[in-house]
Structures are given as C-alpha cells and as structure tokens.
Structure 1
Amino acid sequence: MTMSTTTTGILTTAADADLAAARMQMALSLGWHIVIACFGVGMPAITLLAEWRGHRSGDNHYRLLARRWARAMGVLFAVGAVSGTILSFEMGLLWPGLMGTFGEVIGLPFSLEGIAFFIEAIFLGVYLYAWDRLPPVKHMLSGIPIVLAGVASAFFVVTANAWMQQPTGYVLRDGRIVAVDPWAAMFNPATPPQTVHMILAAFMVAGFGMASVYAVAMLRGRRDRYHRLGLLLPLTVAAVVTPVQIGVGDWAAHFVADNQPVKLAAMEGVFETGRGVPLHLGGVVVDGELRYALEIPYGLSLLAQWDPDGLVRGLNEVPPGDWPPVNVVHWAFQVMVGVGFALLALSAWLAVTWWRRREPPGSVWFLRAAALSGVAAVLALEAGWIVTEVGRQPWIVYGVMRTAEAVNPAPGLVYGFALVSVVYLVLTVATVYVLRRLARDVPVPVAPQEPDVSGYKVV
C-alpha cells in the first residue's frame, strides 16, 4: 500500500499511521540515545583532564571531580548500551527495506562500531575498578582507550548516516546489490563534515551539560573551590570547542548547498530559484510562502556560494511530493543556529573576562547563563539532527529509496511505538534517580573545603 495524504496532511490509511509511528519511534530512540552518546564521547576526555590536573597539581578537588564523573560515566555508558541496543534492533524491525537491500553496504561501520564499543567497555571497567589498585599514571593511561573508543564509535555510526545522505560504494541492478565497496561507502562525501560536526557537538553537550550542574549549585550558594572547578573545567572545554563548531557548521552548510539543495531550500524557506537570495531569520511557511521573516539582503547567496549574487536553488525545482516538511526543517535550523551563537556569546564572555582579569565572570547572570547552557546545547543538538534527518525526507537513502519503501509492511507498528515510549520513560526516570543518588555520595576523602565567598577566583 502506498502512502497518501489529504491536502491537509492528515493520514488516511492504517499504513500511513504505521509509517508515522515508525518514524516517531526512530526519532524518539535516536533523539534519546544521542544525548547519552554525547556524554559517552565527551565526558571521558573531561574526566581524564580533571584527573591529570589533580595528579599534576596535587589538588584533591580535581581528583574528587574525576572520581565522581567517572561513576556517572559508568552509569551513562550502561544506559547508552541499552538504548543503543534498542536502536540496532529497530533498524531491522522498522526498516527491513533499507537493511535488506543495503545492509551489506553499510555493515562495515556498524561492525567497527561494535569493536570500538567493546574496547570502551573493557577499559571503562579497568578505569572504574582500578582507582586504588594502579599507580596514578597507569590509571590515567587506562582512560585513554576510553576516550579514543568513544570518539571512534561516534565516527563509525555517523559514517553510516552520512552514507544515507550521500550513497556511494555500490552498484544497484534490478533492485539488487551486485557490487559493494564498503570503504567507499563509509568514506562517502558527507562523512568529513558530518562526523566532525557531530563529534564537536558531543564535546559541547558534555562540557556545557556538566558545567550547568555546578552553575546551579553555585547559584544556590555553594561557592567553594570544588564547585568552582566543577563549573570551569568542563565549561572551558566547551568554550574552546564552540567557535570551532561554528566554523565546521559553515562547512557543513556549504556541503548541503552543493549536494542537497532541496534540504537547504527547506532550511531557509526558499521556494523559488534565484540569485542574490536573502538570509531569513524567523518566519513561517503559509500557503507555499515564507512569511514574517526578517531578511538580510544577499545573505543566503553569500553564505552558500561565497557570492552575493550566487545561485540558490528553490523547492520549485522538485515536485512537492519530494519536499521535506518545510516549517519543521526551517525552524529546527533557526533554533540550532540561534542557540549555537548564544553559546558562542557565553564562551566569549568567559574568554574575555578571563583575559582581562585572570578570573571568570563573577556575575550572577553569567551563572544563570551557564546553568541554562546544558539544556541549550542539547536543544541545539536535537534541532541539528532534525535538520539532518527530516530535511532528507521523503528519502531514507537520498535520491535512491523512499522512507515509505523501507518501512516494515506488517501492521501494528503503532503499538510498538507506545511500548518503546514507556521503556524510554522508565529509562529516563531510572537514570535521573541513580545520578542524583551518586551526586549525594562522597567517593573519596577530600581536603576541607574553602568557606563560601561572593567571588570565585581560581588560581
């Protein structure tokens, strides 16, 4: 049964409802897992940095932070393993058309990701249980494979998604794969910008997310050295990464302009091909037209083509049936860029104040902004993935296979979505509960804390 909708966009058949349920289930699973995965990529490096600082300076507060973060890291790794397993089953159960046709093409990165996962698990076990059994230097060295394996896992998984954006490395004849070059498939044209963009996003989510916990505590009056370091160390890592991420985002946008012009048109609400196209801020699509947007003359042409008179292709170049949901993609892109620049401003605030005074900002507004930065980074991450995934629709493999062709034809996918929603609700509650319990424990003795003060200079 083929997909059909009314002019109002209301689903008209049970098959449509199942397709929508499959997409929502995949969106929920991916959106939930990707946050945990970001901490799995960025948190080990920040934890190892804290341990190294503690070993080098002899400051017990760094060691306490490292040990506490390591315990939280273990919890998040276990939860991520559960949500990752759910995702791997969903690839086959929800999208047999994709995996049945192209499984051998994208199998290599998933296999390599499995190897990286086991390396990370092995050394995480060593790192967690050898705090008092290994010399400090050897213990720190045991954490390096965790960092490398976490980054490698993210890289391999994202290469598979990049292939879905720019499919290469195969020959398809009469609906069947007759030749495969798995390395060419994995290192497809979308791999460089997409993997770098994702890995940097992971460090931003981890850094801002960890810092926000201590910013909230400091707003509640806990201005001792332990909380100051807990704020500044991950916040500094995120602040260093943020301007780099802005540059990589521009690189990724140029790639989209050259290789997925329909996605770019949806991101900016461009319906007609033209030159000297303005950049749109805000706005909403009504009756095939972007309205109420603030326009920056020639902005989009300049950003997309490095030419104020550059050509930008509009949605009019493809049939309406090949358009993604324009309002969803447009607003997701607006949120991602807006939040990204807000985090850049926070990073600049920290950098300028430190450069001028050799101490971080003492303003309560800075702490409030830092407290919100964790949620903001997650919001930008989710918005970015909406742009990436929804902007590719209606294709599951760009230009080759439609999402409706890949979905499981068996009825009842709606019930599976309901069940998975309950599972993720339970996982969320359990994860928050365990992390809050860990935050109340003191895993190692520390030196007496400094008295509360109004400022928080760190020397």
Structure 2
Amino acid sequence: MSPLFLSRVQFAFVISFHILFPAFTIGLAHWLAFVEWRWLRTRESLWRDLYFFWLKIFAVSFGMGVVSGIVMSFQFGTNWAVLSERAGAILGPLLSYEVLTAFFLEATFLGVMLFGWKRVSHKVHFLATCMVALGTLISTFWIISANSWMQTPQGHAIVDGMFVPVDWWAVIFNPSFPYRLAHMVLAAFITTCFVIGGVSAWYLVRGDHFAAGRRGLKMAVAFAAIAVPLQILAGDLHGLNVGKHQPVKLAAMEGHWHEGEPGEGVPLVLFGLPDQDGERNRFEVAVPRLGSVVLTHSWDGTIQPLTAVPADERPPVAPVFWGFRVMVGLGVLMLLLTLASLWAWWRGWMFDQSGRARWLWQGWRLLSPAGFVALLAGWYVVEIGRQPYVVYGLLRTSEAVSPNITAAAVMSSLVTYACAYAVIFGAGIWYLLKMIRRGPHPDETPPEHGGGDKTPARPLSVGDDEVPGDQHEAVKKEGAR
C-alpha cells in the first residue's frame, strides 16, 4: 500500500467514473441535434417528445461528468506533482485549450439548450443544440491529444529534465492521435446508440410508449449498422499503429511472450491465463497464423514479443490481455445483434408482437450497458498497457508521483472520494433510472414557441411515476396500433 500504488488506484477510480459520463453525453448531444433537426423538418410531435425526454437524461449526465472531471484536476497537483512539473509545459496548454474552446462553448449554449425553448426561436434553439454537440467533440479533441502525447510523445525537447514544446503541430497531431480520436468518438457514439436502443426495446417489451420505442430502436439499429463496422475498421488501424509505436503494449494485448520459428507466423490467442513470472500463458487456446493476419495483415508477419524487453519494462499482462478480449468480445456481440436486427427489419418482423421479435428486444436490453463496459475495458488496455511509463519511454510512473505524499493521505482522500461518489452518483443514477422508467410523455413537453407565456422550460422536472389512467389507455392503444 505505497503512495504510488494508492495514487494509481485513486486515479483509476476517479477516471473510471468520469469517462462514462462524457462519453455518453458526446453521443447523446449529437442524438439530440438529430432529433431536433427531424422535428424541425417534420413538425411531428413524437420527435419533440423524444427530444425533451433525452434532454433530461443529457442534463443530469452532463452535470455528473462535470463534477467528476473537477476532482481529476486536483490529483495532478496533489498526487502527480512531478508529472505536472516536468510535463506541465505541454499538458497544461493542451488542457487549457480544451477549457477555452470547448467548455466555454458548451457553457454558453447549454443554458439556451436547456431553458430557452420558449425564449428563443426554434432555429436559434437548434443552433444551441448543435453548438453543444460541437463543443463535446472539441473537448474530446484536446483531451485525446493530451493523452495521446503521453502515449506517443513527439514535438518536444527535454531541457533540464523538463519537457519543452518545440513543434506544437507535432505535439497535438502525434502519431497515435488520429487513430485514438476516431476510436474514442465512435466508442462514445456506439455507447449512446446501445443505451437508446436498449431503453427503446425495454419500452417495447413492457408494452408502453410503443411509438417512441419503435422509433428509437429503428434509429439505434440504423446508426449501429454504420458505426459498429466503422469502429472495427478504426480499431484495426489503431492496432497497426500500436504495433508500430508501442510494441510491448501490443504483445501484452495478444499474450505474445516468445519469438516463434521463422516463417511460422503469430498465433491468435483466444484464451489463456497469462503467467507473468513464468513468461507464458497457461491453458492457452490459439489459432495458428491468425494473429499474423489480424495484426500485420500478412500470412507470416511477426510482432515483437514480451521477452524482447526486460521484465521491468513490461506492463501487467493479465489486465491488458483480458481487457482487450472483453472489449473485442462485446464488440462482436454488438455487431451480431445489429446484423440480426437488420435482418428482422428487412424481413418485416422487427416490431412483431409475437415471440420471435421479443428475443431481439431482449437482446438490446441486455446489451444496453455493453458500450460502457467495452469503453472501460478499452481504456484499461490503453492506460495499463503503457506501464511502467506515464510518458511512454521517457518518464516512469514511479518517478512521476509526488515525492512527499504519504500513503495515509492518499488513502483518506480515496475513501472520501468513494463515499462522495456513492452519494452523488448514486442519487444521480437513481434519478436517471426514474426518468427512464417514466419514459417520454407529451404532458411534460413545453408547448410551441410564440405564446404569451415566456416561462423557461424545466428540463429536469419529472412527473409522478404513475401515468394517468386515460393517458395509459392512450399509450396502450398506440401500442396496439
């Protein structure tokens, strides 16, 4: 229980909470922009009801993301002072650019988006929604740029032990940045897509909000059919980039310990229990040469094995190995469910009330949190896989921790964070589930713009859990129709 170990645990705990909410709001902001655009084009009330329903979800998720993000910044000064001192000249400006270009943009238009429905024109309100969505992408750009520089540092000089920028273009657009940005943005979109599809499918299973559930599931299937294959392509390109710039991480992802015989290629390890001390995989199940095809796009290509570097240069193999397989496995399941849904849609029975459609709806329900799990698993692969370095190849994690911090201080702050997060995020998630359980209701949607009442919208209000009897019957009739 050293200060280094506890500081790593604390950072992992905080970022594991934080990354979920920004990723979800990135996709949800763009979903809201699409829904409002459809309402402007069709003026169909269902689109407007969907917009205000998901706007409530967005508002709470955005708030929890901001709260968890504030805590992260303190750790750089308290737990990782050496990192802040030595790399601050690069990381500081990148994070400041995120605040200046993205956070201010989001903060400016978020109030209009949440409360301006009856105070501005519909076109101005739509512009505000688009600006918030754009702000989430700009924020992602700078955060991924800073993290990618730590993975593949370029464009700097080391002067008296300090990282000094000499080429900002090379710093920002470092070798792994384009691949990691595409992979992260698509992951955020897919995470939101499966939440929307899962919630919509749950309404269909439950027999309520059939029109909203039908439309939401249709849009989720259509988007997943585009985003999931693109994510597979982006992941493949990212893997090639990792093999070029972080070969030890790739070897840990694949559980590849030793150099094979010339010409035999690299097997694809499907299952195994990595034994770091024994430098092997126990109970290994592998497909010969398939690893070469996947990792190098050639029949007999090779990658650098883990034993090519000293033991103290290798990351913890087991979490990287299994995190990668959890991410890929969930991606395969999401692809299969998308293909099955497209088949059902094409054959005309995706919304059939009989049993053959219900198993499809249940599949979307079960995979609704899959994006979050895959996102965390992928993030663990990225961050644990670069160990023992915090700036890859240049600054070890053990050298970046604050020198005078004590284990007791880190433990006390970790316990405090855990208790605070349990209360804050427990209440927030409970409120989110309450809103989802209630579903979209026309009586909670603000009226059209142009009336005499200029009271702003109340996006976080939730009515009674019980639906009025006449409205419940209307919902049932809509479902039957």
Q: Which of 282, 287, 292 in structure 1 is aligned with 2:271?
A: 282
Q: 1:162, 1:188 within 8 Å by CA — same for their partners in 2?
A: yes
SS in 2 for 1:281: strand
Q: What is the CA distance between 1:436 and its match in structure 2?
A: 3.6
Q: 2:323 aligns with which of 320, 332, 336?
A: 332
1:313 aligned partner: 304
Deviation at 1:135, TM superposition (A): 2.8
Unaligned 5+ segments in structure 1 are 1-15
Please state how far the C-alpha of 1:453 moved relative to its aligned partner.
4.5
2-structure distance, mates of 1:30, 1:173:
31
- Cα distance in 2 for partners of 1:360, 1:238 equals 17
Q: Distance in 2 between matches of 1:113 and 1:326?
A: 33
Equivalent residue number for residue 391 of structure 1 = 385
The aligned runs of 1:393-408 (5 Å cut-off) are 393-408=387-402
Shift of 1:358: 8.3
| Residues 345 and 159 of structure 1: CA distance in aligned 2, closer, same or farther (over 3 Å) | same
User: 53, 71, 95: which is aligned to 2:38?
Assistant: 53
Aligned residues with identical type, % of pairs: 36
Secondary structure of 1:292's partner?
strand
Instruction: Note if contact 1:203-1:241 (Cα within 8 Å) is conserved in structure 2.
Output: yes
2:367 aligned counterpart, secondary structure: helix
Change (3 A) 1:235 1:99: farther
- In structure 2, which of residues 185, 192, 197 is the aligned counterpart of residue 211 of structure 1? 197
Q: 1:428 aligns with which of 417, 425, 428?
A: 425
Structure 1 segments of 4+ aligned residues over 4 angstroms from their partners: 358-362, 445-448
Kindly indicate whether the alpha-carbon contact (under 8 Å) linking 1:48 and 1:140 is maintained by their aligned counterparts in 2.
yes
Matched, 1:416 2:413: yes
1:344-383 to 2 correspondence within 5 Å? Answer: 344-357=335-348, 363-383=357-377
Q: Deviations over 1:417-449 (max 9, x none)?
A: 111111221222121133244444752279954
The whole-number CA distance in structure 1 between the counterparts of 2:319 and 2:289 is: 24
How far did 1:398 drift? Answer: 0.4
Matched, 1:124 2:110: yes
**Pairwise CA distance, 1:357:** 2.9
8 Å Cα contact 1:280-1:293 kept in structure 2: yes
Q: Which residue of 1 aligns with 2:26?
A: 41
Task: Output the TM-score relative to the length of structure 2.
Answer: 0.87
1:364, CA displacement in angstroms? Answer: 1.4
Matched, 1:443 2:469: no
Instruction: Tell me what 2:82 maps to.
Output: 97
Tell me the residue number matched to 1:82.
Answer: 67
Aligned-residue offset at 1:180: 3.3
Paired residues of 1:155 and 1:199 also in contact (CA < 8 A): no
Question: 2 CA distance for matches of 1:158 and 1:452?
Answer: 45
Greater mean alpha carbon deviation, residues 179-188 or residues 92-101: 179-188
- Say whether 1:137 aligns with 2:163: no
Q: Does 1:197 align with 2:223?
A: no
What does the per-residue CA deviation read over 1:139-187, in whole Å, with 9 as the maximum and x for residues that have no partner?
2122111111111111110111101100111111331345533332111
Cα gap change, 1:437 to 1:360, in 2 (>3 Å)? closer
Deviation per CA, 1:341-387, whole angstroms, max 9, x where unpaired? 11111111222332343855761111111012221111111110011
Check conservation: 1:94, 1:407, Cα contact below 8 A: yes
Gaps of 5+ in 2: 448-470
1:162 is matched with which residue? 148
1:10 equivalent in structure 2: none
Question: Structure 1 residue 235: deviation in Å?
Answer: 4.3
Deviation of 1:137 (Å): 2.7
Deviating more after overlay: 32-41 vs 178-187:
178-187
Deviations 1:25-53 (Å, cap 9, x if unpaired)? 11111111111001221101111212222
Q: Point out the more displaced range, 248-257 or 107-116.
A: 107-116
* Aligned-partner Cα distance in 1 for 2:476–2:80: 56
Other structure's SS at 1:309 match = coil
Q: What per-residue deviation string (whole Å, max 9, x for no partner) do you get for residues 276-301 of structure 1?
A: 01001121113321122321111111
The answer to whether the 8 A contact 1:283-1:291 is kept is yes
Residue 171 of structure 1 contacts residue 177 of structure 1 at CA under 8 Å; is this kept in 2? Answer: yes
Q: Distance in 1 between matches of 2:319 and 2:227?
A: 27
d(CA) in 1 for partners of 2:446 and 2:134? 30
Query: For the Cα contact (< 8 Å) 1:240–1:347, is it kept in 2?
Result: no
TM-score under structure 1 normalisation?
Answer: 0.91
Provide the rounded CA distance (Å) in 1 between the counterparts of 2:327 and 2:49: 34
What SS does the corresponding residue of 1:172 show, helix, strand or coil? strand
Residue type of the alignment partner of 1:195 = L
Q: CA RMSD in A?
A: 2.1
8 A Cα contact 2:157 2:164, kept in partner: yes
Q: CA deviation at 1:55?
A: 2.8
Paired residue for 1:62? 47
SS of residue matched to 2:444: coil
Whether 1:293 aligns to 2:284 is yes
Count of aligned pairs: 440
